Structures are given as C-alpha cells and as structure tokens.
C-alpha cells in the first residue's frame, strides 16, 4: 500500500481511504471476550470511520497484565461484552472520517487506552485519568487485538491519538501506556534525584518502574519479586534485585539488603500483603504508591500512629493522563525496549499468547499482524 498525505479540505467532505474504500476488506479477524476464560477468535465486520473518527490497521498489540487477569478471573461490571480486547496497540491510519484534520493517512499512530470526556469535574481539574465517563479500549469500546480498530472522535479531540515519528519503532510505541502509568506513579511517589526506591513486582511494570526511576535520578532502585528470570532482566536494566518468598518476612529481607528505609515504595502487584509490606518499609516522611489493582479482599491494615508520627504518605496511582501518555511516547524512544523481550504471536495464536502471558513464560506477549519469522 502506498501512503499519501491527507488533504484536510478533501477529508472534511468525505471518508478517505488509501487507494479508495474498496482497498479495505469488509470483515476482519478479532479476539473477542465474551466472559471469564471465554475469548473467541471471530470474523467481524471491519470498523469504519464515521464523522471525526479514524480507523487504524493494527500492526501490533501488547497483552497487558490486566487483560490476562480479566480473562482468568472474569470481566468487571465496566466491561461492555462482547468486546474486542487490547489497549496497547500501534497501527497505520487507513481511513479518515469526515472532519478529521491533522492525522495523515498512512501514518503510524497509537492511542491512549483511556479516553476522557473532557467535561466532567475531574477532566476540568486536569485529572483526566479520573474521568467519570471514561471510554476504554478493550473494556467498553472495541480494542486493538484485531486487524482494525476504530478511534472514536472523542479520542482525537482529547489529543489521545498520537501520530508517531518514523524513528520510533512499533516495539517502543506499544509501551506508551505502561510507561505513562509508571511515570505518573513515580512522580506521585515524589521520586527525585538521589532517591532510594523499592519496587515490589518483577513483571513488565516492575521493569518499567526500574528504568524510569533511574531516568528520574534515583540513586538506588531495588526491585523485589519471585521470578528469577524476570529479576535477571531487571538487573540488566541497572536495578538491584531481590527474590523473596511471599510467605516469609519480605520487609525484613528488603531492609537487610538496603540498610536503610526507602524514600519511595511502589507496590505494583495485585497482592494486598505487598501494600502492607510497602507500608512497613517506608521511612518517616516517605511515600508509598498503591500502583496495582488488588485481587481478592483488598483491605489492608496500617498502624495509624506510625502514619501520624511518621508523616509518611500513602497514595494511589491509576492509569495516566492524556498528557502523560503523550510524554511517555516521547520517552519510549529513549528507553532500551530490547529489555522487554517481547514474544510475537500472530492473531490466530491468541490463546497461546494469553497462555504465555498467564504462565509468565514470556515477559511480554505481543500480537503482531505483520508476518513473523
């Protein structure tokens, strides 16, 4: 396919596709979630671009820990089933709806997974990650584990569709969401030059935190987990690592390695006990970041007197703002994406990709629509 620049005047009048509308098929293959452990590969009508909308031909889509948890434990009430999963995608702009400007046909692009409304109180405060009316790819609108994905007009209005520079690889571009979320978490946790940071979690999110905390000038970063292969990858990113058993006293083991209480602890695993461990570790005046959604009973117990006398801070970090997502795309080009060791799967092997992600056989399972070797 040849790409050409869109003419804003021409596209305002009519839907435009490279080579004309006939160049795109009527149907597509998609991985559709119907319920717990019920993910079906289906032939579906290809999405088309209505007014203000864009259609991307998906090139790659990462499988997120949240996709795997949803598949394994069942979708929450927010899911509009059946829905095409996937929110970490990069694609090529193949169709522009009437009125779309500034999005070149043929360009590569990615989109923030969460699309804020721009009107609610949270959006008006600039906290659009907390929007009360979020649309989310792969949750309540169809996502990127498909050959094509429709980008709603609201996403483009919000600045959440990002046209990628040529030099940014697909592999880097699909890391926009994880990088944006970790950036927000570390900033909320007041990580700065000279900080000592503990990250609980050894998956792709633990790795992203480790890389970004060092970028932000942290002097010491210790990542804690149980998976030796994953900790080895994190060590290659320059962070110290510690393997701990969940049943033992992780706080004691971590303090023994650090020799001091950390300035910031990020709890990035779904286990409420990890959050309690983080609270036990933190120095007076430090910050604990509740980064991960928790599985099972999410209650935690904290010592209210230590909170009062020690003036430490417990704060949540959820998702990232549209501005942080755009910043993350800029950052992605500077990070060593090779560390993420993506394993590529064709869409037809979606269940193998989910199984690899669930069993942690790969650090990052990614569906690629390009032929893979």
- Best CA proximity match to 279, nearest among 298, 256, 257, 300: 300
**What is the torsional sign of CA 290, 293, 295, 300?**
positive
List Cβ neighbours of 49 (8 Å cut-off, separation of 6 or more): 15, 55, 95, 96, 97, 100, 150
Give least dist CB 138 to Zn ion, A: 9
Give least dist CB 326 to Zn ion, A: 16
Please identify, among the stretches 172-180, 207-215, 230-238, 318-326, the one whose residues bind Zn ion according to the rule CB under 5 A.
Answer: 172-180
**Does 127 sit near Zn ion (CB under 5 A)?**
no
Which residue number, 69 or 306, has a Cβ lying nearer to Zn ion? 69
Give least dist CB 131 to Zn ion, A: 3
Give least dist CB 82 to Zn ion, A: 20
Which residue number, 123 or 223, has a Cβ lying nearer to Zn ion? 123
Q: What is d(CA 337, CA 333) in angstroms, rounded to the nearest whole number? A: 8
**Does 131 sit near Zn ion (CB under 5 A)?**
yes
Candidate residues 41, 48, 99, 120; the one interacting with Zn ion per rule CB under 5 A: 120
Candidate residues 12, 117, 294, 323; the one interacting with Zn ion per rule CB under 5 A: 117
* Structure tokens that stand for 34 in this block: 């119907």
> DSSP of 20-55, one letter per residue?
-GGGS-SEEEEEEEEETTEEEEEEEEPP---TT-EE
Neighbours of 361 (CB within 10 A): 12
Give least dist CB 124 to Zn ion, A: 8
Residue 36: what are its φ and ψ, rounded to 5°? -60, 125
The answer to whether 338 and 350 are in contact (CB under 8 A) is no
Q: What is d(CA 12, CA 52) in angstroms, rounded to the nearest whole number? A: 9
**Which residue's structure tokens are 């904290």?**
302
Strands (E), the chain: 27-35, 38-45, 54-62, 83-84, 88-96, 108-111, 114-115, 135-136, 148-151, 161-163, 196-200, 220-225, 240-243, 264-267, 287-290, 313-316, 342-345, 364-368
Give least dist CB 351 to Zn ion, A: 19
The answer to whether 56 and 92 are in contact (CB under 8 A) is yes
The answer to whether 48 and 95 are in contact (CB under 8 A) is yes
Candidate residues 39, 61, 93, 123; the one interacting with Zn ion per rule CB under 5 A: 123
The DSSP 8-state label assigned to residue 137 in this structure reads B
Which residue number, 53 or 177, has a Cβ lying nearer to Zn ion? 177
Give least dist CB 62 to Zn ion, A: 7
**Does 18 sit near Zn ion (CB under 5 A)?**
no
Which residue number, 95 or 177, has a Cβ lying nearer to Zn ion? 177
Which residue number, 119 or 219, has a Cβ lying nearer to Zn ion? 119
Which residue number, 30 or 64, has a Cβ lying nearer to Zn ion? 64
**Does 257 sit near Zn ion (CB under 5 A)?**
no
The answer to whether 202 and 226 are in contact (CB under 8 A) is yes
List Cβ neighbours of 126 (8 Å cut-off, separation of 6 or more): 321
**Does 307 sit near Zn ion (CB under 5 A)?**
no
Give least dist CB 6 to Zn ion, A: 29
Which residue number, 123 or 135, has a Cβ lying nearer to Zn ion? 123
Side-chain-side CA neighbours of 280 within 13 Å: the count stands at 16
- Number of residues interacting with Zn ion: please give it, by CB under 5 A: 7
**Does 64 sit near Zn ion (CB under 5 A)?**
yes
- Best CA proximity match to 313, nearest among 269, 262, 270, 271: 262
Which residue number, 36 or 124, has a Cβ lying nearer to Zn ion? 124
**Does 54 sit near Zn ion (CB under 5 A)?**
no
**Does 116 sit near Zn ion (CB under 5 A)?**
yes
Please identify, among the stretches 48-56, 62-70, 192-200, 330-338, the one whose residues bind Zn ion according to the rule CB under 5 A.
Answer: 62-70
Give least dist CB 361 to Zn ion, A: 19
Give least dist CB 116 to Zn ion, A: 5
**Does 318 sit near Zn ion (CB under 5 A)?**
no
Please identify, among the stretches 6-14, 109-117, 157-165, 193-201, the one whose residues bind Zn ion according to the rule CB under 5 A.
Answer: 109-117
Binding site for Zn ion (CB under 5 A): 64, 116-117, 120, 123, 131, 177
């Amino acid at each position: 396919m040849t790409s050409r620049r869109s003419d804003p005047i021409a596209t305002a009048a009519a839907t435009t596709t490279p080579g004309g509308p006939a160049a795109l098929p009527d149907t597509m293959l998609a991985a559709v979630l119907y319920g717990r452990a019920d993910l079906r590969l289906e032939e579906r009508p290809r999405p088309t671009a209505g007014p203000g909308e864009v259609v991307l031909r998906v090139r790659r889509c990462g499988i997120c820990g949240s996709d795997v948890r949803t598949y394994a434990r069942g979708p929450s009430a927010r899911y509009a089933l059946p829905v095409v999963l996937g929110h970490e995608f990069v694609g090529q702009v193949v169709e522009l709806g009437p009125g779309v400007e500034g999005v070149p046909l043929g360009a590569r692009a990615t989109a923030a997974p969460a699309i804020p409304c721009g009107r609610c109180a949270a959006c008006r405060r600039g906290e659009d990650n907390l929007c009360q009316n979020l649309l989310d790819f792969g949750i309540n609108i169809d996502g990127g584990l498909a050959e094509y994905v429709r980008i709603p007009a609201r996403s483009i209005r919000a600045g959440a569709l990002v046209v990628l520079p040529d030099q940014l690889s697909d592999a880097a571009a699909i890391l926009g969401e994880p990088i944006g979320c970790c950036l927000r978490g570390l900033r909320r946790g007041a990580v700065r030059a000279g900080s000592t940071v503990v990250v609980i979690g050894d998956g792709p999110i633990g790795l992203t935190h480790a890389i970004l905390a060092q970028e932000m000038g942290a002097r010491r970063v210790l990542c804690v987990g149980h998976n030796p292969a994953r900790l080895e990858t994190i060590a290659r990113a320059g962070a110290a690592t510690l393997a701990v058993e969940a049943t033992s006293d992780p706080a004691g083991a971590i303090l023994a390695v650090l020799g001091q209480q950390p300035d910031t602890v990020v709890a990035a695993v779904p286990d409420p006990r990890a959050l309690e461990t983080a609270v036990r570790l933190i120095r007076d005046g430090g910050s604990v970041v509740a980064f991960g959604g928790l599985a099972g009973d999410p209650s935690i117990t904290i010592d209210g007197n230590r909170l009062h006398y020690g003036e430490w801070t417990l704060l949540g970090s959820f998702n990232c703002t549209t501005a942080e997502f755009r910043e993350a795309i800029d950052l992605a080009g500077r990070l060593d994406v090779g560390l993420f060791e993506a394993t590529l799967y064709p869409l037809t092997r979606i269940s193998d990709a989910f199984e690899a992600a669930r069993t942690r056989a790969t650090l990052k399972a990614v569906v690629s629509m390009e032929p893979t070797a």
